[in-house]
Amino acid sequence: MEIYLALKIIWWLLLGVLLMGISIMVGMDMGVGTLLRHVGRTDSERRVAINVIAPHWDGNQVWFVLGGGAIFAAWPLVYATAFSGLYVVMLLLLWSMIVRPLAFEYRSKRESPTWRNNWDWCLFLSGFLPMLVFGAAVGNMLQGVPFHFDWRLTSYYTGSFIALFNPFAILCGAMAVSMSVYMGGAILTNATDGPVQERARRAAMLAGILAMVLFTIGGLWLTRLEGYMLVSGPDPALAQTPLHQSVERAAGHWLTNYNNHPVLWAAPALGYIGALLGVLSLNARRPLFAWWFGALAWIGIIATVGAAMFPFMMPSSTNPSHSLTIWNAGSSERTLSWMLGFTLIFMPLILWYTSWAFWVMRGKVDKAHVDSSEHAL
């Protein structure tokens, strides 16, 4: 029984790792997409920018795909309730995201400026929109989502689509976009030179500062936001459904964990320190450091949200006692164990060969090479 409790917590931490993987790796590529039209004024400059991530975007995107699969396997109720509840928003996210593989592969296959310009807009939208929605989704989780279950655990979402774009959610979305622009700018600064590099560097510094400002506003807002608290329910170590607990909703509850365990303040501190050192590194023209500090900032930001919400995963605003928590939304002990085994084997392998792929393709993108490449036709 204790093992089951430990597994639930491990998988909650692994969900955090996945979200960090998505934010850092996919977010970086999306930041490049968002910045593309700004850092690249000519076609050749844009191609240089695109080729910085050309060999890696597909591998990076698997973080997102794995996110879907792992939530499905480890947190089936979250997978089912969140993605169906946020239906239209999810569609917006998916539809804008699936344009990206095509934009990368097809953009430079024709010389026509109209063709390329349209794909550049697609790269912008497929970078900007998904990050906005991703952040807004987290913002909605923090506020609670209007849903409830029937006796069978069929979920019913009772809110409107437009309600998902409330001010707090948009703030979180804007912060996700700025962090992704920051990371995209950092990688561009690292792998290009000349005017592209300079524009990327400036944009990244601005985005980093903006992210800190938004993080501050979001944090202050969070203290006034209605949070949730688990009043009673079955023993966390037991298998259970979200039908037998009682949850209280009131302002300030999201600070309970911080008040009880002041060490948790390290999480938001890490967010600030990462972003601050990152911006300073960019100022000192050390883009690789800036990238790693940005990754630390992401880790701090996601940990901040996780620490505030623990043990909640998806609170219900209309029927708080149906809220999804780490204790009631996870898979069985056997499934979590098998999945953990596979993760322990394959995650190090993935990190190893991803690093190898980046190492093979290291260095600046050569403008002359891009200009003479066959894909230009």
Sites for other proteins among residues 228-257 (CB under 8 A): 239-241, 243-244
Sites for other proteins among residues 305-364 (CB under 8 A): 331-332, 334-335, 338-339, 342-343, 346-347, 350, 353-354, 357, 360-361
* Distance of closest approach, residue 325 Cβ to other proteins, in angstroms: 14
Interaction between residue 1 and other proteins (CB under 8 A): no
Residue from 153, 209, 237, 280 that binds other proteins (CB under 8 A)?
153
Of 103 and 225, nearer to other proteins (C-beta) is 103
* Distance of closest approach, residue 227 Cβ to other proteins, in angstroms: 25
* Distance of closest approach, residue 162 Cβ to other proteins, in angstroms: 13
Residue from 15, 19, 35, 50 that binds other proteins (CB under 8 A)?
50
CB 144 within 8 A of CB 228: yes
Of 257 and 354, nearer to other proteins (C-beta) is 354
Helix (H), strand (E), coil (C) string for the chain: CHHHHHHHHHHHHHHHHHHHHHHHHHHHHHHHHHHHHHHCCCHHHHHHHHHHHCCCHHHHHHHHHHHHHHHHHHCHHHHHHHHHHCHHHHHHHHHHHHHHHHHHHHHHHCCCHHHHHHHHHHHHHHHHHHHHHHHHHHHHHHHCECEEECCCCCEEECCCCHHHCCHHHHHHHHHHHHHHHHHHHHHHHHHCCHHHHHHHHHHHHHHHHHHHHHHHHHHHHHHHCEEEEEEECCCCCCCCCCCCCEEEEEECHHHHHHHHCHHHHHHHHHHHHHHHHHHHHHHCCCHHHHHHHHHHHHHHHHHHHHHHHCCEEECECCCHHHCEECCCCCCCHHHHHHHHHHHHHHHHHHHHHHHHHHHHCCCCCCHHHHHHCHHHC
What lies within 8 Å, CB to CB, of 71 at 6+ separation is 15, 18, 78, 79
Of 50 and 211, nearer to other proteins (C-beta) is 50
* Distance of closest approach, residue 248 Cβ to other proteins, in angstroms: 22
Interaction between residue 72 and other proteins (CB under 8 A): yes
Interaction between residue 13 and other proteins (CB under 8 A): no
* Distance of closest approach, residue 281 Cβ to other proteins, in angstroms: 27
Of 280 and 347, nearer to other proteins (C-beta) is 347
Of 108 and 317, nearer to other proteins (C-beta) is 108
Of 153 and 217, nearer to other proteins (C-beta) is 153
Sites for other proteins among residues 261-300 (CB under 8 A): none
Phi-psi label, residue 194: left if phi above 0, alpha if psi -120 to 50, beta otherwise: left
Sites for other proteins among residues 79-138 (CB under 8 A): 79-84, 87-88, 90-91, 94-95, 97-102, 104-110
* Distance of closest approach, residue 168 Cβ to other proteins, in angstroms: 24
Q: For residue 149, what are the β-bridge partners?
A: 155
Of 107 and 199, nearer to other proteins (C-beta) is 107
Residue from 34, 155, 178, 245 that binds other proteins (CB under 8 A)?
155
For other proteins, how many residues bind (rule: CB under 8 A)?
A: 82
Of 55 and 195, nearer to other proteins (C-beta) is 55
Of 42 and 154, nearer to other proteins (C-beta) is 154
